[in-house]
Amino acid sequence: GRLDPITGKLEYCSAGHPPAMLLRANGKMELLTEGGMLLGVLPDAPYLRGSVDLAAGDVLLTYSDGVIESLNKTEEEFGIARLETQLRLAAGTQVPGLADPNSPLNLAETNAEGLLFSVLGAVQDFAGTHQLVDDLSVAIIRRSVPENPQATSLDRLHLFF
């Protein structure tokens, strides 16, 4: 993918990876699904490129399949639903069924590092003593709400992985 830190425009292609999650500042969750099959499987495979704009307060979560396929002692997968729930909890936002989905998010005080450690901790807690069989790769980008309206866009982008 390619992210313009000035405008917040992200161009991406999943190429066989799980869809990235974009948690908007208004609480809407978007799955970034544009792409194609696993990169390198077929030499002439077609790929689609997606594009989104990250606005102030938005959080982008990318992850490897090892995160959602992590198993607990009963061989249950962590899954996309738990990942979304954990991201929402870590971001201090509404979790469908647990809070009012129409109230606005408050992401102003949640940094990318805190979100990352919360997500990874939830996966590790879920797996418990069950051996991990795949990598756990997570990257989080958060476009912060500017404290100073005169700040440049570069001052408002936080990446942690």
Q: What would the DSSP string read from start to end of 75-112?
A: --B-HHHHHHHHHHHHTT---BTTB-TTSPP--TT--H
Candidates 147, 150, 148, 141; CA nearest to 21 is 141
Residue 161 reports pLDDT greater than 50: no
What pLDDT is stored for residue 146 in this prediction?
66
Contact of 83 with 21, CB cutoff 8 Å: yes
Return the number of other C-beta atoms located less than 10 Å from residue 59's C-beta: 27
Contact of 119 with 20, CB cutoff 8 Å: no
What pLDDT is stored for residue 98 in this prediction?
57
What pLDDT is stored for residue 1 in this prediction?
83
Condensed to tens digits (0 to 9), the pLDDT of residues 56-79 reads 989 999 999 999 999 999 999 999
What pLDDT is stored for residue 125 in this prediction?
95
Condensed to tens digits (0 to 9), the pLDDT of residues 76-106 reads 999 999 999 999 998 877 666 555 544 444 4
Instruction: Identify the band that residue 158 occupies on the pLDDT scale cut at 50, 70 and 90.
Output: low
Measured CA to CA, the distance from residue 124 to residue 74 in angstroms comes to 15
Q: Which two tokens stand for residue 113?
A: 């590092």
